[in-house]
């Protein structure tokens, strides 16, 4: 049997309504060619898995149920990612720490205020205007607009934020689309049916 | 093997015991449904490595919202509905992330390296070619067709159960199954392989 002949027979076999309880057994000729042909074999194997269905069920990682039980019992946050220490620190903040932009601003006659410069970058190639709005700028979309100087669709801005505080924010695109940071691990309800991203630095 | 009625009765016992102040009873639910929910998440999410977190979140949501479950109903369709809604939400978020994201290559490298030390549950290299193709075929489907196919064909729910979980008529379930099958035949038996 050639691969072309096999493909035709393969299609005829799959045309049975196997999702309706029919269980068409695979013709021996299809199996014979499929098992000896590196081009047709994987397609046959995939079809057999889909027809039978159940073999495509996948076992969870070892100990997953136990970890969930333990977490629920302890009342702790359920997340158990290996990178748990990073949870709560959105990517923007991490970037800053990585780059080491730690600033200490001192006002005359006042105690030192530690700030960290956070660089926000947003990939939005279709946007005409992007702002970051948060509790640090009283949610004013006019104060901190991102720029895309090289026209690559990545909008950016660097903003000094107080260290040790929780900052909530969203992006505002073209003055009408409010978007929480899709990468932020922490989000809270904004009271208007949406969510704010949370940045803890 | 336990009958479905027996399983339903055990589920209801566990739910009632949890609601009456014995949260440890929920362990029965977690142990029974972790494997099926993991499998569901693995096949419905385009990034299968998110399945583990998804299962944890689904079971936590069920636990926290248990008082909303109507005790005269079967438990597992209620849990599955929570699961499907959660997975849809993850997929919506994932699609948006591809257009909008804070770009920070350095932290991503850190996260990836830590994650890889822990062992990724989905090692693409270990997947057999046939399974990889089967997953590709699933991914060619529209989301609503894939949900129906995975629940009915892979998870072995009845048409009536799929209808209950997804809140769509049984006729629609059958139509979606038919369309899913045709699309996957087109993928596997199409001309692009020659």
Q: Which residues in chain B have Cβ-Cβ distances shorter than 8 Å to A81?
A: 53, 115
Partner A, chain B 13-52, Cβ-Cβ below 8 Å: 23-24, 26-27, 30-31, 34-36, 38-39, 42-43, 51-52
What value, to the nearest 5°, has the Cα angle with vertex B16 and ends B15 and B22? 85
Other CB atoms within a 10 A radius of the CB of residue A196 amount to 24
Instruction: Please state, in angstroms and rounded to a whole number, the distance separating the CA atoms of residues B48 and B29.
Output: 23
Q: What is the pLDDT of residues A42-93, one digit of tens each?
A: 888 888 888 888 888 888 888 899 988 888 887 644 332 322 222 333 444 3
Inspect the interface and report whether the beta carbons of A45 and B38 lie closer than 8 Å: no
Any idea what DSSP says for residue A152? S
For residue A103, name the pLDDT band (cuts at 50, 70, 90): very low
CB A166 within 8 A of CB A180: no
Give me A58's structure tokens.
């996948």
- The pLDDT assigned to B106 comes to 36
Tokens 């399945």 found at: B51
Contact in structure between B12 and B26 (CB atoms under 8 Å): no
Q: How far apart are CA A99 and CA A121, in angstroms?
A: 14
Burial of B55 (0-12, 13-18, 19+ CB in 10 A): buried
pLDDT at A23: 60
User: Do the Cβ atoms of B121 and A61 come within 8 Å?
Assistant: yes
| Contacts (Cβ under 8 Å, ≥6 apart) of A179 | A170, A171, A172, A173, B96, B100
- B130 and A54 in contact by Cβ < 8 A? no
Dihedral of alpha carbons B134, B135, B140, B145, sign: positive
| DSSP β-bridge partners for residue A195 | A189
Torsion sign across C-alpha atoms A101, A107, A113, A117 = negative
| DSSP 3-state of A54 | helix
Ramachandran area for residue A17 (φ above 0: left; ψ -120 to 50: alpha; else beta): beta
- A152 Cβ contact partners less than 8 Å away, ≥ 6 residues apart: A125
Q: Is the pLDDT of residue A95 over 50?
A: no
**For position A94, what pLDDT does the model report?**
37
Q: Is A182 exposed, middle or buried (0-12, 13-18, 19+ CB in 10 A)?
A: buried
Predicted local distance difference test score (pLDDT) of residue A116: 76
- A197 sits in which H/E element: strand A195-200
Does the beta-carbon distance from B108 to A90 stay under 8 Å? no
Instruction: Give residue A21's pLDDT band: very low, low, confident or very high (50, 70, 90).
Output: low
User: Which residue carries 């590709």 as its tokens?
Assistant: B136
CA distance B73 to chain A (A): 24
For residue B180, the chain A residue with the least C-alpha distance is A19
Q: Which of residues 56-115 of B touch A (CB under 8 A)?
A: 56-57, 59-60, 63, 93, 96-97, 99-104, 106-108, 110-111, 114-115
| Nearest residue in chain A measured CA to CA from B191 | A7
Chain A residues whose CB is inside 8 A of the B118 CB are 82
pTM: 0.61
Nearest to B102 among A50, A86, A183 (CB): A183
pLDDT tens digits for A183-197?
776 778 877 777 888
Contact A58 B43 (CB under 8 A): yes
**Residue A101 binned pLDDT confidence (cut-offs 50, 70, 90):** very low
pLDDT in tens, A65-79: 998 888 888 764 433
Distance CA(A185)–CA(A101), nearest Å, equals 22
Low-confidence ranges of chain B (pLDDT < 50): 98-127
Residue B96: the pLDDT is: 58
Average pLDDT along chain A:
73
Reported as a single tens digit per residue, the pLDDT across A116-142 is 778 788 877 778 888 999 988 888 888
Q: Do A69 and B31 touch (CB under 8 A)?
A: yes
Question: How many inter-chain contacts (A to B, CB under 8 Å) are there?
Answer: 202
């Amino acid at each position: 049997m050639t691969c072309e002949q096999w493909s035709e027979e393969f299609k005829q076999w799959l045309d049975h309504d196997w999702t309706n309880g029919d269980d068409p057994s695979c013709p021996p000729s299809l199996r014979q060619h499929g098992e000896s042909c590196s081009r047709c074999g994987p397609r046959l194997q995939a079809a057999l898995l889909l027809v039978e269905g159940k073999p495509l069920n996948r076992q969870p990682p070892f100990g997953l149920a136990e970890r969930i039980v333990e977490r629920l019992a302890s009342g702790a946050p359920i997340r158990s990612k290996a990178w748990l220490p990073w949870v709560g620190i959105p990517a923007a903040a991490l970037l800053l720490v990585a780059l080491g932009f730690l600033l200490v601003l001192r006002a005359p006659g006042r105690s030192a205020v530690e700030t960290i410069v956070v660089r926000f970058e947003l990939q939005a190639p279709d946007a005409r205007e992007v702002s970051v709005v948060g509790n640090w700028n009283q949610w004013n979309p006019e104060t901190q607009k991102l720029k895309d100087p090289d026209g690559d669709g990545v909008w950016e801005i660097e903003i000094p934020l107080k260290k040790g505080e929780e900052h909530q924010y969203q992006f505002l695109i073209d003055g009408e689309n409010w978007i929480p940071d899709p990468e932020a691990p922490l989000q809270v309800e904004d009271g208007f049916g949406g969510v704010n991203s949370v940045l803890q630095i | 093997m336990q009958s479905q009625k027996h399983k339903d009765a055990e589920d209801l016992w566990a739910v009632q015991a949890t609601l009456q102040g014995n949260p440890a009873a929920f362990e029965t639910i977690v142990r029974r449904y972790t494997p099926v929910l993991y499998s569901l998440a693995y096949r419905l999410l385009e990034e299968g490595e998110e399945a583990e977190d998804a299962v944890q979140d689904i079971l936590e949501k069920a636990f926290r919202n248990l008082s909303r479950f109507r005790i005269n109903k079967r438990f597992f369709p209620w849990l599955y509905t929570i699961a499907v809604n959660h997975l849809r939400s993850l997929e919506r978020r994932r699609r948006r992330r591809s257009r909008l994201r804070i770009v920070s290559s350095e932290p991503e490298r850190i996260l990836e390296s830590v994650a890889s030390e822990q062992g990724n549950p989905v090692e693409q290299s270990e997947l057999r070619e046939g399974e990889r193709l089967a997953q590709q075929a699933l991914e060619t489907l529209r989301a609503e067709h894939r949900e129906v196919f995975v629940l009915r064909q892979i998870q072995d729910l009845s048409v009536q159960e799929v209808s209950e979980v997804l809140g769509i008529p049984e006729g629609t379930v059958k139509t979606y199954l038919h369309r899913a099958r045709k699309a996957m035949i087109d993928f596997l038996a199409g001309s692009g392989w020659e």
